[in-house]
Structure 1
Amino acid sequence: MRKRLYRAKDDRMIAGVCAGIGHYFDIDPTLVRLIWVFLFFGAGFGLLAYIICVIIIPEEY
């Protein structure tokens, strides 16, 4: 079975990006959210990166 990256519907907080990444890599979505906040928002371009991910990553069907 082929793994696909998608925005999750079941464990989403805002748009499901972090939950989808967590499901793809088989890790807890909360851990992905923490990493996202520290790495991306700490560097200053997190909001832009998140918006780009929302646009590019398809939603789970």
Structure 2
Amino acid sequence: MKKRLTRDVKHQKIAGVCAGIANYFDLDPTLVRVIWIVLACMAGGGILAYLIAWLVMPEDSGQNDEPTIIN
């Protein structure tokens, strides 16, 4: 299966960008969010990068998820 960088809207806090990056690199989403906040505060470019990623990254279609069994 081929990996795709997508926004994870199922585990999103704002737009799902950090959760999508965490899924792609098999990291904890909280770690990615903390790194992103530090970059935004220190360099200032993190906010612009987040907005660009929000616009460019497609939403996760959810087709790769396991089916949910409803009783």
Q: RMSD of aligned C-alpha atoms? A: 0.9
Instruction: Give distance in 2, aligned partners of 1:39 and 1:51.
Output: 14
- For structure 2, the 5+ residue unaligned runs are 62-71
* 1:2-38 deviation digits (Å, cap 9, x = unpaired): 0000000111000000000000000100000001011
**Structure 1: which 4+ aligned runs deviate by more than 2 Å?**
none
Q: Which residue of 1 aligns with 2:57?
A: 57
Larger radius of gyration: 2
Instruction: Give distance in 1, aligned partners of 2:40 and 2:19.
Output: 16
Instruction: Give distance in 1, aligned partners of 2:49 and 2:60.
Output: 20
Q: Which residue of 2 aligns with 1:22?
A: 22
Q: What is the percent sequence identity of the aligned residues?
A: 56
SS at 2:12 equivalent: coil
How does the TM-score come out when normalised to structure 2?
Answer: 0.80
How does the TM-score come out when normalised to structure 1?
Answer: 0.92
Instruction: Give distance in 2, aligned partners of 1:11 and 1:47.
Output: 20
Aligned residues: 61
Q: Which has the higher contact order (CA 8 A, sep 6+)?
A: 1
More helix by share: 1
Matched ranges for 1:1-61 at <5 A: 1-61=1-61
